[in-house]
């Protein structure tokens, strides 16, 4: 089987990380992989041993010429199937390119923000199947009018191995300039509005009086950095909340957190939460999108309503006050990740969708030939 993957992201985190794991897993199973990505994209180096990389400009939703570039690549390479992994125009124009060349096509949907029903009705007809990374996303697509039989759920995965190693607590404190008695909440997310950093900042303001030892590390980068820093400064929280930036060595440090917070308004699934559970860190997250699938309420963490700061404060206060509960939730979360969210399970799930799509196409071709 030959598969052309299309990934428009330039950085290897979130969805692009899932694509890299998928391509590597498919290569181990004998699949011939091609990867179309923008010039200079980080994923190219990650999959160099598992896929042949086709670099091409990808300029977003307005880049209709991407249809021609992808169609040209499809005609030259003749893949059995095209797998579109991104939005940013790659979903729409990639679907059109596959349709123009008569090639089987699947789309991975990784976000739960809704689209207009008229757009969904037109766009999702381009794909043989849509692969939702959570049941929450599948529900969003159903609400938009996408036929249920066209959508399959294959959850995102986490490579748990790097997060299973114990963290050197002294090195963790030194790395982030933390006092020996600090209780540390972390958040791992892009600095963008839907991730909900503003709710955590407000919650920490309410908690610091009872928990002067509390410290918060915000991992990630994004356009809201200055705005969030201004909010932190306005509340006098500069010594309590710190930006830790985007870390390529996160597996080394994630297990040093006492709690991971993720009060997002929207989230497809939340890979950082899966990583935190692998590191045995208990989680407080919002009950939004696919987050209830990533976090078992009262199993691996606590869930609160999206945007409900008092509920967020109460959940964090409960965990801050009970080290035994933190340990129990963390241990249960690790066991759940190892059982349900392995990379191998994700790879097999995607490969099974490919086989069903190609089998259905073959059956239709055979039926058409018999009818003729």
- The CATH number of the structural domain formed by 2-157+342-371 is 3.40.50.2000
Of all residues in the chain, the percent with pLDDT exceeding 90 is: 82
- For 148-188, write each residue's pLDDT tens digit: 999 999 998 888 999 999 999 999 999 999 999 999 999 99
Domain with CATH 3.40.50.2000 in the chain: 2-157+342-371, 161-340
pLDDT band at 311 (very low <50, low <70, confident <90, very high): very high
Q: Taking the C-alpha atoms of 135, 137, 143 and 147 in order, what is their torsion angle to the nearest 10 degrees? A: -80
Name the phi and psi angles at 258, rounded to 5: -85, -30
**Whether 283 contacts 304, CB under 8 Å:** no
Instruction: Residue 324: count other Cβ atoms within 10 Å of its Cβ.
Output: 7
Q: What pLDDT does 11 receive? A: 82
Please provide the average confidence, as pLDDT, over all residues in the chain.
Answer: 94
Q: What pLDDT does 268 receive? A: 84
DSSP H or E run through 338: helix 323-340
- Is the confidence at residue 51, as pLDDT, over 80? yes
- Is the confidence at residue 372, as pLDDT, over 90? no
- For 248-266, write each residue's pLDDT tens digit: 899 999 999 999 999 999 8
pLDDT band at 198 (very low <50, low <70, confident <90, very high): very high
Strands of 183-188's sheet in order across: 241-245, 214-219, 183-188, 259-262, 283-286, 301-304
- The CATH number of the structural domain formed by 161-340 is 3.40.50.2000
- Three-state SS annotation for 212-224: CCEEEEEECCCCC
- For 76-134, write each residue's pLDDT tens digit: 999 999 999 988 889 999 999 999 999 999 999 988 888 888 888 889 999 999 999 98
């Amino acid at each position: 089987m030959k598969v052309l993957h299309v990934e428009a992201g330039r950085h290897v985190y979130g969805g692009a990380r899932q694509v890299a794991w998928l391509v590597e897993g498919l290569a181990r199973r004998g699949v011939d992989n091609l990867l179309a990505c923008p010039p200079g994209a980080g994923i190219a180096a990650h999959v160099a041993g598992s896929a042949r990389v086709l670099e091409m400009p990808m300029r977003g939703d307005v880049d209709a010429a991407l249809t021609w570039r992808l169609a040209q690549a499809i005609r030259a390479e003749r893949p059995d199937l095209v797998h579109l992994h991104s939005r940013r125009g790659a979903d729409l124009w990639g679907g059109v390119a596959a349709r123009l060349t008569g090639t089987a096509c699947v789309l991975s949907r990784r976000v739960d923000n809704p689209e207009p029903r008229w757009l969904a009705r037109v766009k999702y007809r381009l794909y043989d199947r849509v692969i939702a990374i959570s049941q929450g996303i599948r529900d969003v697509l159903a609400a938009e009018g996408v036929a249920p039989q066209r959508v399959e759920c294959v959850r995102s995965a986490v490579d748990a191995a790097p997060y299973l190693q114990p963290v050197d607590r002294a090195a963790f404190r030194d790395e982030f300039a933390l006092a020996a008695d600090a209780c540390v909440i972390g958040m791992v997310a892009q600095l963008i509005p839907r991730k909900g950093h503003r709710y955590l900042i407000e919650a920490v303001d309410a908690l610091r009086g009872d928990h002067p030892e509390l410290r918060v590390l915000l991992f990630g980068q994004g356009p809201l950095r200055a705005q969030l820093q201004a909010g932190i400064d306005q509340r006098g929280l500069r010594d309590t909340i710190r930006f830790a930036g985007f870390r390529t060595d996160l597996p080394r440090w994630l297990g040093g957190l006492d709690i991971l917070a993720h009060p997002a308004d929207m989230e497809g699934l939340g890979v950082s939460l899966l990583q935190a559970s692998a590191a045995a860190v208990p989680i407080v997250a919002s009950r939004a999108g696919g987050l209830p699938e990533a976090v078992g309420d009262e199993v691996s963490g606590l869930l609160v309503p999206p945007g409900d700061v008092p509920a967020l404060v109460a959940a964090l206060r409960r965990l801050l006050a009970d080290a035994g509960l933190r340990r129990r939730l963390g241990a249960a979360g690790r066991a759940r990740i190892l059982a349900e969210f392995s990379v191998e399970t994700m790879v097999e799930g995607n490969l099974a969708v490919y086989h069903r799509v190609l089998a259905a196409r073959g059956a239709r071709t055979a039926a058409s030939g018999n009818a003729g």
